[in-house]
Structure 1
Amino acid sequence: MTELRDFLELPYGELEDLNLQAKEQRKKRVAADVIQEERLKYLTDEKRIKAVTVLFSDLEGRLHMLDYDKKFLIKSYDNLTFDGSSIRGFTAQRESDLRLGIDWSAFYWAPADVFGGGKVLVFGEVIDKNGGIYSGDIRSVLKQFSQEQFDKHGYTLNAANEIEGFLFEGIDAERMYHETGSFEYVNKGGYYHSLPGDPLREFIDTTAEVQRAMGFENEKDHPEVAPSQFEINYTYGEVVAAADQIQLYKLICRQVATQMGMTASFLPKPVVGVNGSGMHTNVSITKNGKNLFWDPKGEEKISKMAWQFTDRILTHGNDLCLLLNASVNAYRRLDPHFEAPNQIKASAVDRGSMIRIPIGNEKSSRVEVRSVGPDANPYLVLHSIFKTGLHGETAKIKNLRQAERYLPDNIYTALENFRDAEWTGTLLGDDVKARYADLKQASADRCARLLGTIVKAPEVQFHHDVYNQLLWNIF
Structure 2
Amino acid sequence: MSELREFLELSYSELEDLNLEAKEQRRKRVPAHVIQEQRLKYLTDEKRIKAVTVLFSDLEGRLHMLDYDKKFLVKSYDNLTFDGSSIRGFTAQRESDLRLGIDWSAFYWAPADVFGPGKVLVFGEVIDKQGGTYSADIRGVLKKFSQELHEKQGYTLNAANEIEGFLFEGTDAERLFHETGKFEYVNKGGYYHSLPGDPLREFIDMTAEVQRAMGFENEKDHPEVAPSQFEINYSYGEVVAAADQIQLYKLICRQVANQMGMTASFLPKPVVGVNGSGMHTNVSITKGGKNLFWDPKGEEKISKMAWSFVDRILTHGNDICLLLNASVNAYRRLDPHFEAPNQIKASAVDRGSMIRIPIGNEKSSRVEVRSVGPDANPYMVLYSIFKSGLDGETAKIKNLRQAERYLPDNVYTALENFRESAWTTKLLGADVKGRYADLKQASADRCPRLLGTVVKTPEIQFHHDVYNQLLWNLF
TM (normalized to structure 1)? 1.00
- Secondary structure of 2:190's counterpart equals coil
- Secondary structure of 2:268's counterpart equals coil
1:154·1:287 contact (CA, 8 Å) conserved in 2?
Answer: yes
Once the two structures are TM-superposed, the CA of residue 129 in structure 1 deviates from its matched residue by 1.0
1:462·1:472 contact (CA, 8 Å) conserved in 2?
Answer: no
- Alpha-carbon separation, structure 1, partners of 2:32 and 2:438: 36
- Tell me the residue number matched to 1:271: 271
Give the alignment's Cα RMSD to 1 decimal: 0.5
- Tell me the residue number matched to 2:343: 343
- Alpha-carbon separation, structure 1, partners of 2:138 and 2:358: 28
Amino acid aligned to 2:299: E
- Alpha-carbon separation, structure 2, partners of 1:463 and 1:55: 20
Amino acid aligned to 2:271: V
- Tell me the residue number matched to 1:239: 239
Once the two structures are TM-superposed, the CA of residue 468 in structure 1 deviates from its matched residue by 1.3
- Alpha-carbon separation, structure 1, partners of 2:347 and 2:176: 40
- Tell me the residue number matched to 1:379: 379
Once the two structures are TM-superposed, the CA of residue 471 in structure 1 deviates from its matched residue by 2.6
- Tell me the residue number matched to 1:5: 5
- Tell me the residue number matched to 1:284: 284
Per-residue CA deviation, residues 34-88 of structure 1 (Å, 9 max, x unaligned), is 0000000000000000000000000000000000000000000000000000000
Q: Which runs of 5+ in 2 are unaligned?
A: none
- Alpha-carbon separation, structure 1, partners of 2:187 and 2:472: 31
- Tell me the residue number matched to 1:215: 215
- Tell me the residue number matched to 2:83: 83
Question: Where do 1:148-227 residues align within 5 Å?
Answer: 148-227=148-227
Once the two structures are TM-superposed, the CA of residue 130 in structure 1 deviates from its matched residue by 1.1
- Tell me the residue number matched to 1:45: 45
- Tell me the residue number matched to 1:362: 362
- Alpha-carbon separation, structure 1, partners of 2:364 and 2:373: 23
- Tell me the residue number matched to 1:254: 254
- Alpha-carbon separation, structure 2, partners of 1:95 and 1:46: 37
- Alpha-carbon separation, structure 2, partners of 1:286 and 1:457: 44
- Tell me the residue number matched to 1:109: 109
1:49·1:120 contact (CA, 8 Å) conserved in 2?
Answer: yes
Once the two structures are TM-superposed, the CA of residue 172 in structure 1 deviates from its matched residue by 1.1
Identity of aligned pairs, percent? Answer: 90
Per-residue CA deviation, residues 347-371 of structure 1 (Å, 9 max, x unaligned), is 0000000000000000000000000
Once the two structures are TM-superposed, the CA of residue 193 in structure 1 deviates from its matched residue by 1.1
- Tell me the residue number matched to 1:299: 299
- Secondary structure of 1:215's counterpart equals coil
TM (normalized to structure 2)? 1.00
- Secondary structure of 2:401's counterpart equals coil
Per-residue CA deviation, residues 282-307 of structure 1 (Å, 9 max, x unaligned), is 00000000000000000000000000
Say how many residue pairs are matched. Answer: 475
- Tell me the residue number matched to 1:133: 133
- Alpha-carbon separation, structure 1, partners of 2:57 and 2:137: 7
- Secondary structure of 1:318's counterpart equals coil
- Secondary structure of 2:402's counterpart equals coil
Once the two structures are TM-superposed, the CA of residue 385 in structure 1 deviates from its matched residue by 0.2
- Secondary structure of 2:358's counterpart equals coil
TM superposition outliers: structure 1 runs of 4+ over 3 Å: none
- Alpha-carbon separation, structure 1, partners of 2:266 and 2:236: 21
- Alpha-carbon separation, structure 1, partners of 2:270 and 2:241: 28
- Secondary structure of 2:362's counterpart equals coil
Q: Which runs of 5+ in 1 are unaligned?
A: none
- Alpha-carbon separation, structure 2, partners of 1:214 and 1:301: 34
Per-residue CA deviation, residues 420-468 of structure 1 (Å, 9 max, x unaligned), is 0000000000000000000000000000000000000000001111141
Per-residue CA deviation, residues 193-242 of structure 1 (Å, 9 max, x unaligned), is 10100000000000000000000000000000000000000000000000
- Alpha-carbon separation, structure 2, partners of 1:465 and 1:307: 34
